[in-house]
A and B are shown apart, each in its own frame.
Chain A
Amino acid sequence: MRELLSARRVALLGGVYSNHLALEAALADARARGAEAIFCLGDLGGFGPHPDRVFPLLRDAGVTSVQGNYDLSVAQGAVDCACGYTDPRDTHFARLSYEYTVRNTSTENRRWLRALPPTLKVALGDTRLLLCHGSPRRINEFLWETTTPNGLLERFCRETESDLLCFTHTGIKWHRALPSGRHALNVGALGRPENDGAPRVWYTLLTADHELSVEFVPVSYDHETLAREMTREGLPDEFVETIRSGWWTCCLESMPVKERSRGRY
């Protein structure tokens, strides 16, 4: 059964990665733009500082979240974040990020993460939405724009009885209308910029009028303060550089060649 949302406009937030300042800015922006419901597609921790700071922001704003792979790993005390890196450099940085996040996430918040659902089905007007973190079949599947074929997306839509698939995990937004008229939407990420040389981050607004519209919304926030917090917390300089420059410096292994060629590293 799908919950029929009474809202006409909803905000979809992707990976927060402990970026509490961007989350705060995005929540205020979404409300100002008339979002009546807000969903987060998981990965609340990782990469950024003070992971516990995002939880009260989400709860106070009434955000409904699904579980990301990071959330599941932190909740379970798993050995790693389950991003699946094999490149030694990426593995090194992923370990630093994960160990910091686990060390600084409270027991109460881990319990909250454990209870999150892996997927949500809702309806916005006549449109049936499937909300998940990676893909409908796998919490840590990367659905990049240039490695996700229409045939697979159509199959996901059929199997989940959905008109619009919404996901995050890769950290870079995209939207595609499928040949059947269904849609696939990577909502982007709030936690770090999307490897385009600008420090702003992104979330997505859906508006149901006579037809559904998708709008990617840029969020500028006090990234310098976040960068200083990361340095004070002893997080790697490579992470801080990304927050300041907008270029990804690590965890590039899974990025396909087309997306990779648009970055600096």
Chain B
Amino acid sequence: MLGLSVRAPRDIAASSSAPRVEFRELEQVWFQITGTLCNLACRHCFNSSGPHEPWLAGLDVETVRRHIREAETLGAREFYFTGGEPFLHPEILALLADALAVAPTTVLTNGTLIDDPTADRLTQLAAAALYSLEIRVSLDAPTAAENDAIRGRGSFAKALAAVRRLVARDLYPIVTATEIAAPPGSPSLYERLHAMLRAAGVARPRIKILPVLPTGRCESRGDGRRLTAGDLEGFDPARLQCTRTRVVAAGGVYACPILAGLPGARLAGEGLAAALGPTALAHPACSTCYETGIACGNS
């Protein structure tokens, strides 16, 4: 276990000068299902998740179900379950089943808790559903030495074992990596991960690369820059995921997965419909979205 901070990321400072973007339409609904409770404490975690004293609580079953029903009536396209580590939630499998009955669903996991019985249960859920169940397993480097320096000792082996279990059951997970451990130059992180997965016997590798976000435990990596109204001149706001995404987390509904749980990013206390207004681009992480076009969703 890495001895790292669990304090909340810095909240959005109240600012009337922050530019705002209009909401377009609800496509993705995320659930911060375990809040920031995680069995790992990765050095780059954007919401400072960890095993001790999580700063953000998880969600109860009824809150999740209520928002699933509302999302269906609003015509949302897909659900995402994240945390923290979603498989620490005692009702995660039942909630995935509820979500899959309504829309395609993705769960973001570190993979360390996906043993054979859990993989079997996920296989049953996927087979019974009309919609796709996508599983994203986080790995940050193609070697145990590089990965475990970021994610904790033994995490590489456990995550890779989970990937193999899921592939063996035709669930083909999406391996998700940040560029935290990517050395400059070629070959790229994508190529190295692809080669590692193929060598490990993983058929059809699926890989998603994300930038490191200047928030949580990596707050110091950013320059603190905040967007201004001038930045949005000639910019298509539809590129920003906060124009089509909402996140249900403890305390209410928030603008995006990166800022979930921060009081300054809360748009409504309860209910998706009340949270479909404009979003203030007030956090330094908004600059990362603006500059990189990051999409926390699968595509």
A residues near B, CB below 8 A?
84, 86-88, 137, 142, 144, 146-149, 151-152, 154-156, 252-254, 256-261, 265
B171 touches A151 (CB 8 A): no
In the complex with contacts A149-B103, A151-B103, A260-B299 CB distance below 8 A? no
Query: Is B60 part of the binding interface, using a Cβ–Cβ cutoff of 8 Å?
Result: no
A152→B27 CA distance, assembly (Å): 9
B77 touches A152 (CB 8 A): yes
In the complex with contacts A147-B104, A265-B204, A257-B76 CB distance below 8 A? no
Collect the chain A residues with CB atoms within 8 Å of residue B77's CB: 147-149, 152
Chain A residue at minimal CB-CB distance from B78? A147
What 1/0 flags go to B183-224 for Cβ under 8 Å of A? Answer: 000001011000000000000101111000000000000000
A146 touches B104 (CB 8 A): yes
A152 touches B75 (CB 8 A): yes
B73 touches A151 (CB 8 A): yes
Chain B residue at minimal CB-CB distance from A154? B75
Residues 124-146 of B contacting A (Cβ, < 8 Å): 126, 130-134
Q: How many residues of B contact A (CB 8 A)?
A: 30
Collect the chain B residues with CB atoms within 8 Å of residue A151's CB: 71-76, 102-103
Query: Is B120 part of the binding interface, using a Cβ–Cβ cutoff of 8 Å?
Result: no
A84→B298 CA distance, assembly (Å): 12
Query: Is B80 part of the binding interface, using a Cβ–Cβ cutoff of 8 Å?
Result: no
A258→B128 CA distance, assembly (Å): 12
Collect the chain B residues with CB atoms within 8 Å of residue A156's CB: 75
A257 touches B103 (CB 8 A): no
B131 touches A137 (CB 8 A): no
CB distance from B155 to the nearest CB of A (A): 23
- Cβ contacts A to B, 19 pairs, < 8 Å: A84-B299, A88-B188, A88-B190, A88-B191, A137-B25, A147-B78, A147-B132, A148-B77, A148-B104, A151-B74, A151-B103, A152-B76, A152-B103, A253-B299, A256-B104, A257-B133, A258-B132, A259-B132, A260-B172
Collect the chain A residues with CB atoms within 8 Å of residue B126's CB: 257-258
Chain B residue at minimal CB-CB distance from A144? B132
In the complex with contacts A137-B25, A254-B299, A261-B172, A149-B132 CB distance below 8 A? no
A257→B103 CA distance, assembly (Å): 14
A152→B103 CA distance, assembly (Å): 9
B188 touches A146 (CB 8 A): no
Query: Is B22 part of the binding interface, using a Cβ–Cβ cutoff of 8 Å?
Result: no
A146 touches B103 (CB 8 A): no
Query: Is B116 part of the binding interface, using a Cβ–Cβ cutoff of 8 Å?
Result: no
What 1/0 flags go to B72-106 for Cβ under 8 Å of A? Answer: 11111110000000000000000000000011100
Collect the chain B residues with CB atoms within 8 Å of residue A147's CB: 77-78, 104, 131-132
Chain B residue at minimal CB-CB distance from A153? B75
Among B102, B104, B209, the most chain A Cβ lie within 10 Å of the Cβ of B104
CB distance from B33 to the nearest CB of A (A): 20
A149 touches B204 (CB 8 A): no
CB distance from B230 to the nearest CB of A (A): 25
Chain A residue at minimal CB-CB distance from B166? A257
Query: Is B170 part of the binding interface, using a Cβ–Cβ cutoff of 8 Å?
Result: yes
